[in-house]
Amino acid sequence: MLNPTESLATAPMLSGSERLWATSVVRDLAFLLARANALSLAQANAAAATHGLKVRSYTVLAIAVSDTRPTQRELAEFLRLDPSQIVALVDELESRALVRREPDPSDRRANVVVATDEGRATYASAHATVADSERAIFAALSAEERTTLMEMLRRLAGAPDALSA
Amino acid sequence: MLNPTESLATAPMLSGSERLWATSVVRDLAFLLARANALSLAQANAAAATHGLKVRSYTVLAIAVSDTRPTQRELAEFLRLDPSQIVALVDELESRALVRREPDPSDRRANVVVATDEGRATYASAHATVADSERAIFAALSAEERTTLMEMLRRLAGAPDALSA
DNA sequence: TATTGTTATACTCTATAACTATA
DNA sequence: TATAGTTATAGAGTATAACAATA
């Protein structure tokens, strides 16, 4: 009845379960990563929902807006989703006229996903909302710490070596 | 057909999707957090599966082993799961005689979850496997960086202030 | 009247296989 | 023969509501 998506900031300082922080799991990086991610994800989903999006569709839209003209296969590989899930995501965005499928000139089997003008507009406002809501969560860290965290996560996430600011 | 759980280390340096790292999403802390977590989770699940566990059940078992004698309600609160999900997790662990439900003396409505001897043994070997597999993932960071990361994640995960080593 | 554990149910997400059209 | 996109389906995970026993 109170689930991950709900009442995060509103929680009144969780009663008796707080003592479980004395447990060994909380010294486990994977556990903390999962927990931090759950909080961040819930926040991001709530923010994206304001614009009729979920993090998944928001992310696909963000990539479409970037003008990298990814094929669905590339999206699947990059987001580590099955190609069939990309179909559903692109279907949904396309039905709302936020993206278009264009035939890849160099391979007639492949579709390239591009944002429409409306998609760009939606992304712009969604991005503002999402970024804003994340600031609230990552405010637990200083600007310098956030930079350090990003650099570490990039390595854990398997990003290629170039740093990018 | 290639999904998160599969072929992580085995992946042959992902072909054309690598260029999508030039996209703006990869400068998004939440995105990187989600991606790092997906990798870590897949690894941990694979390791736990060796002992017939998933991260969820492994975590519950870890807490049971800690002798903090949590009620199911406390587990639900701490793990941010619905109480009904805890029922299923404890049912499964109890059917395998890894944990026991004991009546809480101070509240006859509540059950307290405790590990059996077999549960302790299973946890010990599962913990070794899981910790080992995680070392592989977090090897991308130095020991010092791992400490820094843990401290940051603890704050993001909403841990109480005391540091704990 | 509120809370703990439980059951039931609907819904979303994830995983897998098979088909088509191109290469 | 292999690959891109698609469809279908089954299973796991998540969300919600209601009930019995106890507070």
Residue A46 has pLDDT above 90, yes or no: yes
Residue B126: inside a domain: yes
CATH of residue A109's domain is: 1.10.10.10
Statement: residue B165 has pLDDT above 80: no
Q: Is residue B82 part of a domain?
A: yes
- Percent of chain B exceeding pLDDT 90 equals 86
pLDDT on residue B59: 97
Show residues of chain B in contact with A78, CB under 8 Å: 14, 17, 20-21
B46, with CB counted inside 10 A (0-12, 13-18, 19+), is middle
Decide if B19 is inside a domain.
no
Vertex A106: Cα angle to B2 and A77 (nearest 5):
20
Q: How far apart are CA A164 and CA A148, in angstroms?
A: 13
pLDDT range class, residue B15, cuts 50, 70, 90: low
Predicted confidence at residue A15, as pLDDT, reads 64
Per-residue pLDDT band for A161 (boundaries 50, 70, 90) equals confident
- 3 state SS of A7: coil
Token code pair at residue A13: 């300082």
Q: What is the pLDDT of residue A10?
A: 39
Q: What is the pLDDT of residues B132-155, one digit of tens each?
A: 999 999 999 999 999 999 999 999
In a domain, A8, yes or no: no
Least confident range from A8-17, A82-91, B64-73: namely A8-17
Give me the pLDDT at residue A70, please: 97
**Chain C bases near protein CB atoms (7 A cut-off):** 3-9, 13-18, 21-23
pLDDT per residue as tens digits for the range A103-125: 999 999 999 999 999 999 999 99
Query: Strand C and chain A: which residues 44-63 have CB closer than 7 Å?
Result: 54, 56
pLDDT at A6 over 50: no
How far does the CA of B91 sit from the C1' of C9, in Å?
Answer: 19
Of A77, A84, A88, A10, the closest CA to residue A46 belongs to: A10
B12 pLDDT band (50/70/90 cuts)?
A: very low
Give the residue-averaged pLDDT of B16-26.
91
Q: Is A47 among the domain residues?
A: yes
State the total domains in chain B: 1
At residue B10 the predicted structure's pLDDT band, cuts being 50, 70 and 90, is very low
Determine the Cα–Cα distance for residues A127 and A112; give it in Å rounded to an integer: 22
Cβ-based contacts of A38 with chain B (< 8 Å): 80
Q: Which residue has the higher pLDDT, A16 or B50?
A: B50
Partner residue opposite B74 with nearest CB, options A2, A17, A130? A17
> Percent of chain A at pLDDT above 90?
85
**β-sheet bridge partners, residue A151:** none
Quote the domain boundaries for residue B83: 53-148
pLDDT tens digits, one per residue of B46-72:
999 999 999 999 999 999 999 999 999
Query: Could you read off the pLDDT of A86-108 as tens digits, one per residue?
Result: 999 999 999 999 999 999 999 99
Is B20 a member of any domain?
no
Q: What is the pLDDT of residue A162?
A: 64
Q: What is the CA radius of gyration of chain A?
A: 19
Distance CA(A69)–CA(A71), nearest Å, equals 7
Q: What span, in angstroms and rounded, lies between the C-alpha atoms of B165 and B161? A: 12
Cβ neighbours of A137 in B, within 8 Å: 30, 156
Angle, to 10 degrees, between the axis of helix A55-65 and the axis of helix A117-138? 120
Asked if the Cβ–Cβ distance from B3 to A82 is below 8 Å, we say yes
Q: H/E/C letters for each residue in chain B?
A: CCCCCCCCCCCCCCCHHHHHHHCHHHHCHHHHHHHHHHHHHHHHHHHHHCCCCCHHHHHHHHHHHCCCCCEHHHHHHHHCCCHHHHHHHHHHHHHCCCEEEEEECCEEEEEEEEECHHHHHHHHHHHHHHHHHHHHHHCCCCHHHHHHHHHHHHHHCCCCCCCCC
Which nucleotide is at minimal CA–C1' distance from B45?
A: D12
Nearest Cα to A61, choosing from B31, B2, B37? B31
- Of B8, B10, B33, which to mutate for an interface test with A (greatest number of A Cβ within 10 Å)? B33
pLDDT of residue B61: 97
Specify if B8 maps to a domain: no
Q: Is B66 close to A158, i.e. CB distance below 8 A?
A: no
Q: Which of residues 101-160 of A touch strand C (CB under 7 A)?
A: 107-109
**Residue at B156 is within a domain:** no
Q: Evaluate if residue B84 carries a pLDDT over 90.
A: yes
The residues, ordered by sequence, that sit 6+ positions from B54 with a Cβ below 8 Å of its Cβ are B45, B48
Give the nucleotide nearest to B104 (CA→C1').
C4
- The pLDDT, as a whole number, for residue B16 is 85
The mean per-residue pLDDT over the stretch B91-104 comes to 97
Which own/partner pairs from A58-62 qualify as long-range (CB within 8 Å, at least 24 positions apart)? A58/A123, A58/A126, A58/A130, A59/B25, A59/B31, A60/A86, A60/A89, A60/A90, A60/A93, A60/A99, A60/A113, A61/A93, A61/A98, A61/A99, A61/A115, A61/A119, A61/A122, A61/A123, A61/A126, A62/A123, A62/A127, A62/B23, A62/B24, A62/B25
User: Within 7 Å: CB of A2 and strand D?
Assistant: no
Query: Residue B26 contacts by C-beta under 8 Å, 6 or more apart in sequence?
Result: A154, A159, A164, B20, B32
Closest-CA distance of chain A to residue B95, Å:
23
